[in-house]
A and B are shown apart, each in its own frame.
Chain A
Amino acid sequence: MATHEEIAASLQAFCEGYQNNQKLKLMNRDWNRIIVIKANDIDSQHTLTLHNGELSLTQGTPGQTADLVVTSDSETLADMFYGDITPTEPYMNGTLVIQGTEDDIVRLDFISLMIWGE
């Protein structure tokens, strides 16, 4: 089991990976989304906000409705946002649940792979 702080640190690493990738920022200029990250085994919630290609991280839930809600156990979330595992396998075996449109799910997978992919 990972702690809230470990999930926060993994999300911070994910954001830094994103910010360092200029091409990724360019690719996502059209995709303004609020993404909530929730652990289902500990009390831990974070919000990723994408706006005009810029990604920011805050603790807790947003004041407005989220476009995507990503839920999994704390260990999977930390591993995934650190890039130790890809989201595809936990998503396909049901460990990772993403509520949102299929197009948005593909897009989130794409961002993760562009940061951490081969």
Chain B
Amino acid sequence: MKRVVSVSLGSSRRDHQVLVELLGEQFEISRLGMDGDFDRALAKLQQLDGQVDAIGLGGIDVYVYAGNKRYAFKDGLRLMEAVKTTPVVDGSGLKNTLERETVTYLLQNTDYIKKGTRVLMVSAVDRFGMAEAFATAQCDITYGDLIFAAGIPYPIKTLQELEEIAARLLPEMTKLPFHMLYPTGKQQETRDEEKTQKFAQYYQDAEVIAGDFHFIKRYLPDKLNGQMIITNTTTAADLELLSQCGAGRLVTTTPVFEGRSFGTNVIEGALVALLGKPWENINPVDYLGIIKQLDFKPRIIEMVN
């Protein structure tokens, strides 16, 4: 039995544990929320180091991307560096492969995405693979990085502008405490009412809303009009919430185990354990190969409103 544990800065209310079989191997996959307590997360990571087969870091990004540049969050690196023996991943490797493939899959197998489809990516630098895939598909994309992370009502419309702004901001902003830019702990359980009201139009104008579910949920307006949501880490309660708000369809990029779509960090941890290679030697081709072997496909759920 292989053990993969996700240590998340998010709420412990979303904790869960499942047993799954992947390519004939038994896995125990669990998620432990640290309720935004950074020191507790550090201690838990040190405790798990050497005791499990892989660790995922949840509720925090270590690496984000814009174009060919990679930026590392100081807080994320501190967590990652606390683990000395066990492979530790933040999901960014899988975001660059599996999530890119999700868009390709929808393009090839459905009519949900086409040239000109209005897409709101609530944040693109943490899902640059998906952002590039939408751009390749010639969708009409709004990158909401400034809107939702910094509260600035400026929709970024091209990858080039996203890369330019990222190059100015991210070398410094990644040094700020992560909670200043991303909802952690209890913030994940509440809606930011002021910004939700201020930025509702971006949700309502889109046909597709994609990206990190905590961002999507924190600024989710009361009323949608049939939008497709592309995300992961959703629970049964989240599905209910999206349905009540009027979302038309939910597409999850990661596989669903026991009703729960796991974060990319957890799934990447499982894949690293399966590949049995040092994480630094694993490349996108390795991930794509094993994703194909596992026959991972996006899960599409039609909403009943």
Contact = CB atoms under 8 A, between A and B. Distances in A.
B200 interface: no
A26 B161 CA distance: 15
B169 A106 contact: no
Interface stretch (A7-15, A42-50, A62-70, A110-118): A110-118
Contact of B173 (A26, A88, A103): A88
Contacts of A105: 180
Contacts of A86: 172
A49 B249 CA distance: 45
Contacts of A92: 175-176
B160 to A, nearest CB: 14
For chain B, which range describes its interface: under 10, 10 to 19, 20 to 34, or 35 or more residues?
Answer: 10 to 19
A109 B154 CA distance: 16
Contacts of A89: 175
B180 A117 contact: no
A106 B180 contact: yes
Interface in A84-118: 86, 88-89, 92, 102-103, 105-107, 109-110, 113-114, 117-118
A113 B176 CA distance: 13
A41 B157 CA distance: 45
A12 to B, nearest CB: 22
A14 B175 CA distance: 22
Interface residues of A, number: 22
Interface in B156-212: 165, 167-169, 171-173, 175-176, 180-181, 198
A30 interface: yes
B153 interface: yes
B152 interface: yes
B152 A88 contact: no
Contacts of A118: 167-168, 171
A103 B176 CA distance: 12
Interface of A: 23, 26-31, 86, 88-89, 92, 102-103, 105-107, 109-110, 113-114, 117-118
Interface of B: 146, 150-154, 165, 167-169, 171-173, 175-176, 180-181, 198
Given A110-B150, A113-B169, A114-B165, 14 more contacts: A27-B154, A30-B153, A30-B198, A86-B172, A88-B173, A88-B175, A88-B176, A103-B151, A106-B150, A106-B181, A109-B172, A113-B173, A114-B168, A118-B167
